[in-house]
Structure 1
Amino acid sequence: MRHPYTIREIARQAGLSTATVDRVLNSRGNVRESTVREVHEAIKALDRQRTQVRIGGRTFMVDIVMQTPERFSTAVREALEAELPSLQPAVVRSRFHFRETCPPEDLVGILDKIAKRGTQGVILKAPDLPEIAAAVGRLVAAGIPVVTLVTDLPHSARLAYVGIDNRAAGATAAYLLEQWLGDRPGNVLTTISRGSFRGEEERDLGFRSAMRLAEPRRNLVRTCAVFIAHDLDHDNTRLLRERRLSAVLHHDLRQDVRRACQTIMRANKALPDDGPTLPSAIQVVTPFNLPPDVSPVPFMG
């Protein structure tokens, strides 16, 4: 078990003698299995304490750059503020750069300005365009880690993507529609706000591919017998309560924001490496399984 601690440190943490710890670490035998576990647990405890010492009192300035509707930027701000206590003892300060609509060169200007000024990290939601990817490359060249949130820039130098597997989300929506519609004839409408966002494009591709496999005769245009939306924002929550939506594909934004901040902290050597970043879990939300922070709809028998 690799570790940076002396035998004396481990013995003090475990409440054992240095001779016993030496026998465990060097596999000399004549030690009870429970004692071996105590030594390993002591090393894990020292790891946790070492992490707390590294991040204790440190302040991380994070720039959050997003081209997104106000309802989502507000949700991100609220999620970050709610998660700040979970990041203690580190202190995370944030500068927000939100734009509902803007030409790519404006976003590039924001990113280049951050690169010159400096920051501990950037959380980014932006269109998947070559000029944006180039600006990300300049940030990384300046030693600034970039984490993409909810929509990715896979061909850029970003450190990690945090969010759902958007293609899987689209396929999930197609599966749910097929379960509800069955053999009923009709058309299906898909909408996206902007094709240059990788996440929306991936969801659309996943949906269309799965629909064609399930029912190739069905046209992808308009009918609203079943209506599935993405993101449990204020509008979609209201529409779901009113039964104007059949289901909403949702993911825990607070968890995503927390993971994005922790990824930046790891890039700054304040947290140990946690391995590859996995996609966030996709939740299928109906009026009867709304998250705890949203009032559920009473059962109507």
Structure 2
Amino acid sequence: MPHRYPVREIARQAGVSEATVDRVLHRRPGVREGTVLQVEQAIADLDRQRTQLRLSGRRFLIDVVMETPRQFSGLVRDALEQELPGLRPAVMRARFHLRETWQTADLIAALDTIARQGSHAVVLKAPDTPEIAAAIGRLTAARIPVITLVTDVPMSTRIAYVGMDNRAAGATAAYLMCQWLRRVDVDVLVLTSSSMSRGEEEREMGFRSVMRTHDPQRRIVEVTDSDGLDETCALLTARILDANPDVGAVYSIGGGNRGIVSAFRDANRTCEVFIGHDLGDANRTLLLSGHLTAVLHHDLRADMRQVAHSVMRYHGALPGDQRPVASGIHVITPYNLPDG
């Protein structure tokens, strides 16, 4: 019965003759025990490396489609491009379709164009709406898998969600707020960029749940649909500060943190605790200047690795059907700011 590897390949891996390998495979006498173990180890090594052999020469083209502030899309692009060399011997290329604001009809048109033109996968950060779910369904029908990133569209045919547990992230922000905000007369401003973002909605729900448990008297002032851009967040925060003299802490879920800081400065108000998300250049600067108290961060390179593995598993280049695991939530302060 033929072996799953050619005798010549096993012999080369084990460093013995083909005749010796043939005797071991057919359990013939005359081979030392140590040599038998050597051949068996060579076969085990080939088994482990079979995935690499299967990947050799495979090429994948993925489309990254995101509606998000430029700060975050830049982080995602950098993380993916840093991760791609580590996927060798497979080769993966990415096309980026990135906008800070995107009309739903235009976003759906972009997804439908990809469905017609073809792709090995779509990595998607988009609002959780029935129209987006339907567009994902059309990509699935075209045998193009969709992986949602950071924010999910769970009632769709996407094959995986990659990112942090957003409810846990919001709960973590609330826990830190309760520990650090000691004055009982301070209200907390919570800003989200889009009411259609499931990830942001889950963060807010996690935040409110823990605040109700640990600090039930604390008043929360909410700003929705800020778009996460500095100019808009500055304007909306200024209005809140003008109307709410007790606002003195911030949980920024959707970005625009430089605008929020400028609004507090222009109003001559103090922000006692300011918690944000993601380590873009702006948030690094705000951490180091003391304007941000902490940033909740996750390893985007690890996310991109999970994305790539999901794509390759779908196309049979990696074994198994392992689902991505939730990204770890890291609390970053000026004193443990990672390089890069």
Change (3 A) 1:90 1:7: closer
Provide Cα deviations, 1:172-202, integer angstroms capped at 9, x if missing partner: 0011111112474422111111110111111
Provide Cα deviations, 1:202-236, integer angstroms capped at 9, x if missing partner: 11111011110111111112322211101111111
Structure 2 partner of 1:63: 63
RMSD across aligned C-alpha pairs, in angstroms? 2.5
Structure 1 partner of 2:104: 104
Q: List, as ranges, runs of 4+ consecutive aligned residues in structure 1 with deviation greater than 3 Å.
A: 4-23, 35-39, 41-44, 182-185
Say whether the 8 Å CA contact 2:10–2:39 is kept in structure 1: no
> Equivalents in 1 of 2:143, 2:102: separation in Å?
26
Structure with bigger gyration radius: 2
Say whether the 8 Å CA contact 2:313–2:320 is kept in structure 1: yes
> Equivalents in 2 of 1:20, 1:292: separation in Å?
52
Say whether the 8 Å CA contact 1:232–1:248 is kept in structure 2: yes
What secondary structure is seen at the aligned counterpart in 2 of 1:179? helix
Whichever residue aligns with residue 280 of structure 1, its letter is: S
Say whether the 8 Å CA contact 1:10–1:21 is kept in structure 2: no
> Equivalents in 2 of 1:91, 1:272: separation in Å?
17
Q: 1:1-301 to 2 correspondence within 5 Å?
A: 5=4, 13=13, 39=40, 42=42, 44-182=44-182, 184-221=184-221, 222-224=247-249, 225-273=272-320, 275-293=322-340
Q: CA deviation at 1:49?
A: 2.1
Whichever residue aligns with residue 166 of structure 1, its letter is: N
Q: CA deviation at 1:45?
A: 2.5
Q: What stretches of structure 2 of length at least 5 have no aligned partner?
A: 28-32, 222-246, 250-271
Q: CA deviation at 1:240?
A: 0.3
What secondary structure is seen at the aligned counterpart in 1 of 2:276? strand
Provide Cα deviations, 1:42-88, integer angstroms capped at 9, x if missing partner: 55532332111211112111111111111111221111111111111
Whichever residue aligns with residue 186 of structure 2, its letter is: G
- Structure 1 residues 175-184 or 222-231, which shifts more? 175-184
Change (3 A) 1:101 1:214: same
Say whether the 8 Å CA contact 2:175–2:210 is kept in structure 1: yes
Q: Give aligned pairs, total.
A: 280
Say whether the 8 Å CA contact 2:11–2:39 is kept in structure 1: no
What secondary structure is seen at the aligned counterpart in 2 of 1:190? strand
Structure 2 partner of 1:299: none
What secondary structure is seen at the aligned counterpart in 1 of 2:124? strand
Change (3 A) 1:182 1:11: farther
What secondary structure is seen at the aligned counterpart in 1 of 2:174? helix
Change (3 A) 1:7 1:227: same
Provide Cα deviations, 1:221-271, integer angstroms capped at 9, x if missing partner: 232221110111111111000011110000111221121122111111111
What secondary structure is seen at the aligned counterpart in 1 of 2:52? helix
Change (3 A) 1:103 1:37: farther
Change (3 A) 1:204 1:80: same
Say whether the 8 Å CA contact 1:7–1:22 is kept in structure 2: no
Say whether the 8 Å CA contact 2:24–2:39 is kept in structure 1: no
Say whether the 8 Å CA contact 2:184–2:218 is kept in structure 1: no
Change (3 A) 1:147 1:37: farther
TM-score using structure 1 length: 0.85
Q: What stretches of structure 1 of length at least 5 have no aligned partner?
A: 24-30, 294-301
- Structure 1 residues 83-92 or 41-50, which shifts more? 41-50
Say whether the 8 Å CA contact 1:133–1:157 is kept in structure 2: yes
